[in-house]
Amino acid sequence: MTRRDKARATFVVAATVFGAAPSGRALAEGPAVEDPYAVPPVPRAPTLPELTHSDIEATLESTAGTILPNGNGAPVGAYVQRIDVEVPLGLRRWFVGATFEMAAGHGPVVGSNLVIDGRTLWATRTGLAFGGGLGLIIPTAQFVGDGPASVAALDAGTLRPWDVSMFIPGAIGGRPFIDVRAIDGPFVAQFRQGLDVTTSTVSAGASLSIYATAGLYLGLWATPRVAVGFEAFESYAISVPGIQDGDRASVVISPNVRLVLPRVEPAISMFTSIGTPLQGANSHIWGFRLAFTVVFPHAGE
């Protein structure tokens, strides 16, 4: 073998070895982290949280309704403003969030108790998800229980009975819950079951109040940008002073439409009560909800 042939062979071997070796940049970056919860796009419920979202989300939900009193009383208008923020942690396995509401209408403007919650989740790429969490109810609703503010708070709880604990004056307690969701092509079914256990910090000798709450959402992609759905909520007074057996359950149903835009997802819903509204204090309710969900991408995305 000539000297030229030896040099050529050496060059070929070196090129093969160094070409097969990973670059310094690849070694520094390491293997790519795979997101185990990269599920198909899901129609988002107007009120229940999107269980596997990867970005910070803030939802502003406005509820405006009419309350028909028992007997021949005049209808009463009521309004509830809700703001909710949730942040995903740890590859969408853990989430933390906070919720606050304000009520107006038949009485002065009233602020609710603050709820800070955390939840965890298990999910598959096919869309099946199961998880749960715990919300802490902090007594920020500091108003007198027998005045105009209490009327506004009762009206707010009547429009949103699953949030009744947020408008108990000075309520402190917890709300454990479980979440279940299934996706089948363009269809999604999501369910949340919770339990509100509270006592009041502003009423002397206040007893324990226990409400069971449930929320169901059925959604369907009508087009790639439009989702139609149906929500139903129930609040059941398990142990609440002064509530008769026939007035323990309060059910609200709500058909809705969601428009999916880049970073903003507005939704409009119509709702009405089935049977007796909250605590039997009124005859019927109906109204509309308008929700705006804003998505904030993580830094660096």
Q: pLDDT tens digit string along 253-266?
A: 999 999 999 899 99
- With a pLDDT cut of 90, the percent of the chain lying above it is 59
List the single range of 131-135, 206-210, 213-217 with lowest mean pLDDT. Answer: 206-210
At residue 223, what are phi and psi to the nearest 5 degrees? Answer: -140, 175
Q: Is-contact 76 281, C-beta < 8 A?
A: no
For residue 25, pLDDT beyond 70 = no
Q: Which two tokens stand for residue 100?
A: 């606050």
Distance CA 176, CA 184 (A): 28
For residue 26, pLDDT beyond 70 = no
The set of long-range contacts for 221-228, using a CB threshold of 8 Å and a minimum separation of 24, is: 221/41, 221/43, 221/186, 224/260, 225/259, 225/260, 225/261, 226/257, 226/258, 226/259, 226/260, 227/43, 227/44, 227/257, 227/258, 227/260, 228/255, 228/256, 228/257, 228/258
Asked if residue 244 belongs to a domain, the reply is yes
Asked if residue 42 belongs to a domain, the reply is no
Q: Is-contact 110 145, C-beta < 8 A?
A: no
> What CATH number is given to the structural domain containing 219?
2.40.160.40
- The 10s digit of each residue's pLDDT in 104-157 is 987 789 999 999 999 999 988 877 899 999 999 999 998 876 788 888 898 999
* Residue whose C-alpha is closest to residue 64's, from 98, 113, 100, 102: 102
Asked if residue 179 belongs to a domain, the reply is yes
Looking at residue 243, what is its pLDDT?
85
Q: Which two tokens stand for residue 205?
A: 């000798």
Q: Are strands 107-111 and 76-89 parallel, antiparallel or unpaired?
A: unpaired
Asked if residue 38 belongs to a domain, the reply is no
Helix and strand counts by DSSP (H, E) for the chain: 3, 13
* Residue whose C-alpha is closest to residue 65's, from 158, 164, 168: 158
Q: What is the mean pLDDT of residues 40-49?
A: 88
Distance CA 91, CA 54 (A): 8
> Which residues, 6 or more positions from 83, have their beta carbon under 8 angstroms from its beta carbon?
58, 59, 60, 61, 99, 100, 101
Residue with tokens 């708070």: 153
**Residue 87 structural domain:** 56-296
Distance CA 53, CA 295 (A): 9
For residue 11, pLDDT beyond 70 = no
Asked if residue 207 belongs to a domain, the reply is yes
Asked if residue 83 belongs to a domain, the reply is yes
Name the domain count of the chain.
1
Q: Is-contact 183 209, C-beta < 8 A?
A: no
Looking at residue 216, what is its pLDDT?
98
Q: Which residue has the higher pLDDT, 90 or 64?
A: 64
Instruction: Give the distance between the most distant pair of CA atoms in the chain.
Output: 112
Asked if residue 35 belongs to a domain, the reply is no
Asked if residue 1 belongs to a domain, the reply is no
> Which residues, 6 or more positions from 6, have their beta carbon under 8 angstroms from its beta carbon?
none
Distance CA 289, CA 267 (A): 8
